[in-house]
Structure 1
């Protein structure tokens, strides 16, 4: 007897037994013949209703099948669903059921390796959830993950689908309590103010923007900002996500869950629907054709539901994603999402505002904020909680000095790396200022690990000169490192969105898409990195080396000032446009 089986999985178990697990010369019967001419396995499993439960009649039929099978000498396998109890006579007669082992990382690794025909070590092994997380894995979620085109994507999908549902906070923060002043915070505040105007009768629902899509790195607080918008507007919010809808099962169940979310919100209007991870839907025109029909159906229904939802007064739509460029354009067009705004990492002022909720002394808060700037709100919150827990275990009061020591202990000083990062970002800022003007540089942030420069773009009219300027700016960080330190690091490289990726893709687009390169006025289609010819790669390499040299030539006369700005960045960690002006105005001749 085999137990520990979900009733809904019985049919799948029977199929596996008949077609994969038993020897090919063995026949599987519900009731075996008395004198079989070949090996026979008698398989006994109950029938169940569509709801997943077993009626009393089905229970009786199942037990009758077992009794009849006992009359025959062939071996038996009885599949016992979870929660099923036999009548007393059978319970005494039958052996104890052997329970299926719970799914663990090894089982899942073997399943995915076999499913995707992989051999040897595989990258997906390290991406699989841990044992405790896998204990929450539901069968539909596993099936959904295995629809992914690659083993790595399947493992990442499992990570998403096994996350616990995030409850909506009863006492979410307001926008004022969050304290941000970025474009995303301003858009959220404007939306909340417009809603209040509608509720007070000074504006109509048809006259205000009613949707906002937030994008940015994980942990920047997109969900928190959506909840704060709802609380500041005084509206209920219903939080959903592509992963939660998909976890309901096959296409029909997923679409029913999606429709249920919008219907529930419409019934509670005025109400906000917040769709998290909206980039999980992908695009109907994406290159990945795996499950393209499924994806097309889902997006079509989502578009229809958004249109129907926003056609009713008192309905608002918020969304969040990491990669806005992967979303189907029809989802994020005006009329569905009226405004698409990036939510970046918090500025120094907002970090200080966050820490002020924990520490009271203004001088202490500013110093701590400089140590934390560049981190996401989620990272800062996790660091504070970890420090509090450590202080509690050690029996030491938790204060600003303890938190400072905790930060320095967990993030040791690496002055050489910090200087390289500061020079790298200063290089971006100087070349931007020289090509576009000092006011084009808005902000620089450095941490102990990375740096970020917020700036304008050189591409306005789309001329060759502008594209070359943009690529010089992208490679200016490497140029600054080489100029001052004599070598370059991997700081410009990495995944999508890195300086090197953007510069490489920009040069390829000039050649193959924009009609500004070696192929003249021809459109050759979107470049496929995996299929580029050796000649194309050689041309990209030569052009990028040329643009890096251009940036180095621009920086060389200002080396002393470049190093001076890098030193200031190491001390201040963040500098805004006003604080950068004394350096940038000197190299541009601005007053």
Structure 2
């Protein structure tokens, strides 16, 4: 019986460790992971010892540990804004939320199956994309450059989606049946000022919805961000459990004033 208990305990420990490593690599590319493991192996060889679990964990989380607390808190607020919007809008399930490995973060989500991808869905998706920026403005009063600046940024993704809505998906306010490929005309927003105004109006509406959603759920946002800042990585079940607990607390204390 004792041996069986030991085996179970060992398996549980291994599961926890494997889960920790799996969460630690959320948002990283295969090349990033390969490079970090290679560097950890080289370090172990120089010290004339085998590669250990601690070596791998340290290699994968070193970038997190190096960030100052105020940056960690800022990233936590931003990423939890995304996570909260995805969960509360019901369009996607959050898989992982993580503090990044330099100066950013990452939310991995999975779209709900069977959702009708109409204009309302597209606008909800835009709301989720801009919820990180909205969370920063709500808590700090400003945003950092990370919301934009490159083709993979929140602003770039949101602008692309909003432009598709107006110019290619049939949801435009003007000439909705006219298909205009953004890929074929990368400067379409510079050329067509009316289209640019319509795209920006759609983005403004999405950011406004995100701000309203997060304002109503400010306590949950701060609680989730606090947990993420401490743990650096959360999986979807932890996010759901925390939001459920906050919802229950709010229902039990309806007169509680949001800070």
Name the TM-score, length of structure 1 as normaliser. 0.34
State the alpha-carbon separation in 1 of the partners of residues 89 and 114 from structure 2.
11
Gaps of 5+ in 2: 1-12, 249-259
CA contact (8 A) 1:458 1:467 kept: no
Say if 1:575 and 1:529 are closer, same or farther in 2 by CA, change over 3 A: same
**Alpha-carbon shift at residue 545 of structure 1 (Å):** 2.0
**Alpha-carbon shift at residue 554 of structure 1 (Å):** 0.8
Q: Which residue is equivalent to 2:93?
A: 441
**Alpha-carbon shift at residue 588 of structure 1 (Å):** 6.8
Correspondent of 1:581 among 237, 240, 255: 240
Does residue 1:552 correspond to 2:190, yes or no?
no
Does residue 1:477 correspond to 2:129, yes or no?
no
- Give 1:255-270 correspondences, 5 Å limit: none
Q: CA-atom RMSD, angstroms?
A: 3.5
Say if 1:576 and 1:534 are closer, same or farther in 2 by CA, change over 3 A: same
- Number of aligned residue pairs: give it: 228
Provide, for residues 488-516 of structure 1, a one-character-per-residue CA deviation record: whole Å limited to 9, x for no partner: 12333354454323321222222222332
Say if 1:512 and 1:388 are closer, same or farther in 2 by CA, change over 3 A: closer
Say if 1:410 and 1:522 are closer, same or farther in 2 by CA, change over 3 A: closer
Say if 1:459 and 1:517 are closer, same or farther in 2 by CA, change over 3 A: farther
State the alpha-carbon separation in 2 of the partners of residues 402 and 545 from structure 1.
46
**Alpha-carbon shift at residue 370 of structure 1 (Å):** 6.9
Q: Secondary structure at the match of 1:517?
A: coil
Q: Which residue is equivalent to 1:454?
A: 109
Q: Which residue is equivalent to 2:194?
A: 535
Q: Which residue is equivalent to 1:499?
A: 154
Q: Secondary structure at the match of 1:529?
A: coil
- Give 1:258-407 correspondences, 5 Å limit: 362=14, 365=17, 369=21, 372-374=24-26, 375-394=28-47, 399-401=52-54
Say if 1:364 and 1:465 are closer, same or farther in 2 by CA, change over 3 A: closer
Q: Secondary structure at the match of 2:217?
A: helix
Higher-RCO chain (CA-CA 8 Å, sequence separation at least 6): 2
Name the TM-score, length of structure 2 as normaliser. 0.71
State the alpha-carbon separation in 2 of the partners of residues 522 and 414 from structure 1.
50
**Alpha-carbon shift at residue 484 of structure 1 (Å):** 1.4
**Alpha-carbon shift at residue 479 of structure 1 (Å):** 0.7
**Alpha-carbon shift at residue 525 of structure 1 (Å):** 1.9
State the alpha-carbon separation in 2 of the partners of residues 463 and 372 from structure 1.
35
Say if 1:587 and 1:515 are closer, same or farther in 2 by CA, change over 3 A: farther
Say if 1:458 and 1:566 are closer, same or farther in 2 by CA, change over 3 A: farther
Say if 1:408 and 1:575 are closer, same or farther in 2 by CA, change over 3 A: closer
CA contact (8 A) 2:25 2:60 kept: no
CA radius of gyration, larger in: 1
State the alpha-carbon separation in 1 of the partners of residues 113 and 175 from structure 2.
22
